[in-house]
Structure 1
Amino acid sequence: MATERTPQRRAVDTVIRSILPIVFALIVAALILLVLGKDPLKFYSGVFENGVVGQNWQHSLVMMTPLLLIAIALIVVFRGQLWNLGYDGQFLLGAVTVAGLAPQLIQATSPGVAYLVLTIAAIAVSAIWTLLPAWLKARFGTNEIITTLVMSTIGVGLTNILIVYVFQDPAVSSPQTRSMKLSDMLPYIPGTQVHIGFLVAIVVAIVFQFILSRTSFGLRLDVFGSSPKSARHVGINSRAMVVVLFLISGGLIGLAAAMDIFGQFGYMRTNWNPAYGDTIMPFVFLARLSPVGSIPFIAFYSIFATGGTIAAQESGLSVDFLKVIVALILIFMTITEYVGTKRDLGQSYLPDELKEAIRRPLAALTGRSAR
């Protein structure tokens, strides 16, 4: 008979399942570096030095701002067993709204008014861009993976059109918006070069941690995520929940875009796409879909991305090597979740589609049935 695990044991199991994929990925990445004739210790020390040492930690925190907000946006929909993969289009549309209107609005009013008005506008634009996929999912059960990806592609193209034909800076020949003055961008946290958008992201993480774990909405969301049919039986409007979750997710992505433009870039060019959502996906699941729990994981990736870009260049590697490491983390995360579920190491937070995608090949390797 299986013995009941203590809360301490469950906590240890959760930590193990969250940390091991990163450890395994770094080990395999080190082996790849050796095969390529590179020094893994030199590469990893370069990551730490360029991502943390001296003033470099401040650059990592600046990069962490949009990543954390997008992570929370994904957590909200994933907890409802929904997919919002349209983050690129939503982010860029929110960003071009801010970048295209900020210089004129700041000149006409003040930076403070522009921050508030355009942040709300970016939140609204990004949220609205999720409405069609949300409605199709709620009304007809249409696969939201496909519809959000399609809307993202349209959003990326629409962003470029807006830059060229609506927000083009007439003073330059390259397709880009007008640039904000450095003095008009978000102020720094005193004593640092980290803009206050970082504090906004931390506060949002704390607020959503409270909402998801301490309120009736969070309880309804967990019931809905566990079983939409059961949710209907207890009086939860599943269709409305789908729409609300997508609106919240899109709105948070719009907030991330506003903080990134106001705090770091100040303008936009055509074909610019940081693709933040693709890189942080594994860390959202490693954090067990916890907004506050995602903070250290997003911080880790921010350091790795900031320092790793320079370390890769110094080692003669393509910066795409960082994507290889992220992919390795995703692979080991899915394997760890599979093994952990088999050995009853606690609840898996992987969406059903992702669990099904890994169950069959892993079951084939072990010679067991996929079901």
Structure 2
Amino acid sequence: MSFVSESPIDSAVPQPPISKLAKSALAAILRIFLPVLLALVVGGLILMALGKNPLDYYGYVLDRGLFSWGGFQATLTRMVPLLLMAAGLIIAFRAGIWNLGGDGQFLLAAVITAALAPALIQVMPRSLMIICCIAVSVAVSALWALLPALLKARYGVNEIITSLMMSFLGISFANVLVKLVFRDPSTTVPQTPDLPVEDRLPRLFDTTVHAGILIALVVIVLVHIMMTRTSFGLKLQIVGANPRAAVHAGLNVGWLTVATFALSAGLIGLAGSIEILGVWGTVRADWNPAYGLVVVPLVFLARFHGIGTIGFTLFFAILMIGGESASRRIGVPQHYVLVLVALLLLFLALVEYLDQLWRKRVKD
């Protein structure tokens, strides 16, 4: 006798064969991990052509970026700005908007935070100072993205061009602020006043990892929920999928475009603010970590999935932290990690193209 009753709904709806689900899952895994594997293999071949042992390089990367306690703490710390910037890009890309002005938005927020924090800590508690710095920096970044947003919403101007232009202006303007307006007169090197270590974001469990990692994880999860479980997120995805259909559906595409830019830039500005409050405490002239375009392939590899982005961000942070040590040990340029990023982008595009070509042939 069976004690499990079959639901009429379950029996009425045809279930896909297990083999079909397995093939679909395997294809998804290949689309995600094949570009990573190919990038690592070709990167290793390049190292061999340079007379270096790729196994030594990747071994040092894993040892210093993941397996050593100090390196793992540095990896988690490096994840913070990458995760927050990824959250901002997920919102923009799902809405069909290319916000490529991340570096300018990040740096402006960082400079504003570096200028405000040392002054505010003199007149208010640390927690209130942190909240004020974050709020102002997020607002500044969102306002900096207003021009590309309005040009896109009102006149249909390509946001790739305008956001890149505003990024260049933002980076230059941030340097001007550091060298002239917010410069600390007590230092010979142009930089903003330094925020004391004890007044920065608190460290977790007696480690060097600051509380920004918790903020970043919460933000990326909230963004994922917003984009997949709310009506606002659904509206953004409709606009991204088909703007004309969104207009016919009665959506205010112009307002949604501006809101998308503001949210995306605001989260990128949050990354810049947290980076200063948690790690640096100051901004020196010509400082630019250039995370903006580096985060793009991570978001694409995760297929704009917020939770999936966490894993790829961890992978890239390990490459960045471990790669710095590995480069010194085996004698390759410190920025060799960027070669791996370029290869990753190349193979990501190639795998995507082959996948689309295969789907088209199967359909025909």
**TM-score normalised to structure 1 length:** 0.90
After TM superposition, the structure 1 stretch with the greater mean CA deviation from structure 2, 186-195 or 171-180, is: 186-195
Structure 2 CA distance, aligned partners of 1:193 and 1:125?
Answer: 29
CA contact (8 A) 2:114 2:283 kept: yes
Structure 1 CA distance, aligned partners of 2:27 and 2:256?
Answer: 32
2:52 paired residue among 32, 35, 38: 38
* Residue 48 (structure 1) shift: 0.5
Structure 1 CA distance, aligned partners of 2:218 and 2:23?
Answer: 30
Opposite residue 130 of structure 2, the aligned amino acid is: Y
CA displacement 1:149-201 (0-9 Å, x = unmatched): 11111111111111122211111111100111110110011242210100000
- Going from structure 1 to structure 2, the CA distance change for 1:12 and 1:191 (only over 3 Å counts) comes to farther
1:329 paired residue among 330, 336, 344: 344
Structure 2 CA distance, aligned partners of 1:299 and 1:8?
Answer: 27
* Residue 8 (structure 1) shift: 4.1
Q: Which residue of 2 aligns with 1:187?
A: 202
2:26 paired with 1:12: yes
Task: List alignment gaps of at least 5 residues for structure 2.
Answer: 1-15
2:214 paired with 1:199: yes
* Residue 340 (structure 1) shift: 0.7
The secondary structure found in structure 1 opposite 2:195 is: coil
1:306 paired residue among 300, 310, 321: 321
1:132 paired residue among 136, 147, 154: 147
After TM superposition, the structure 1 stretch with the greater mean CA deviation from structure 2, 294-303 or 99-108, is: 99-108
The secondary structure found in structure 1 opposite 2:293 is: helix
Matches within 5 A, 1:80-91: 80-91=95-106
1:54 paired residue among 25, 49, 68: 68
* Residue 245 (structure 1) shift: 0.5
Structure 1 CA distance, aligned partners of 2:341 and 2:68?
Answer: 26
The secondary structure found in structure 2 opposite 1:107 is: coil
Larger Rg computed on CA atoms? 2
Structure 1 CA distance, aligned partners of 2:230 and 2:88?
Answer: 18
* Residue 10 (structure 1) shift: 2.4
* Residue 304 (structure 1) shift: 0.5
Opposite residue 204 of structure 1, the aligned amino acid is: V
Opposite residue 179 of structure 2, the aligned amino acid is: V
Structure 2 CA distance, aligned partners of 1:194 and 1:230?
Answer: 46
The secondary structure found in structure 2 opposite 1:293 is: helix
Q: Which residue of 1 aligns with 2:166?
A: 151
Q: Which residue of 2 aligns with 1:349?
A: none
Q: Which residue of 2 aligns with 1:115?
A: 130
Opposite residue 291 of structure 1, the aligned amino acid is: G
2:280 paired with 1:265: yes
Q: Which residue of 2 aligns with 1:164?
A: 179
Q: Which residue of 2 aligns with 1:297?
A: 312
Pairs aligned (count): 343
Opposite residue 240 of structure 1, the aligned amino acid is: W
* Residue 219 (structure 1) shift: 1.3
Task: List alignment gaps of at least 5 residues for structure 1.
Answer: 346-371
**TM-score normalised to structure 2 length:** 0.92
RMSD of the alignment, in Å?
A: 1.4
* Residue 217 (structure 1) shift: 1.1
* Residue 6 (structure 1) shift: 3.7
After TM superposition, the structure 1 stretch with the greater mean CA deviation from structure 2, 219-228 or 298-307, is: 219-228
After TM superposition, the structure 1 stretch with the greater mean CA deviation from structure 2, 186-195 or 309-318, is: 186-195
Structure 1 CA distance, aligned partners of 2:32 and 2:196?
Answer: 42
* Residue 54 (structure 1) shift: 2.4
Sequence identity of aligned pairs in percent?
43
Q: Which residue of 2 aligns with 1:344?
A: 359
Q: Which residue of 2 aligns with 1:364?
A: none
The secondary structure found in structure 1 opposite 2:67 is: coil
Q: Which residue of 2 aligns with 1:27?
A: 41
CA displacement 1:80-119 (0-9 Å, x = unmatched): 1111111111001000000011111011112111100010
Q: Which residue of 2 aligns with 1:288?
A: 303
The secondary structure found in structure 2 opposite 1:317 is: coil
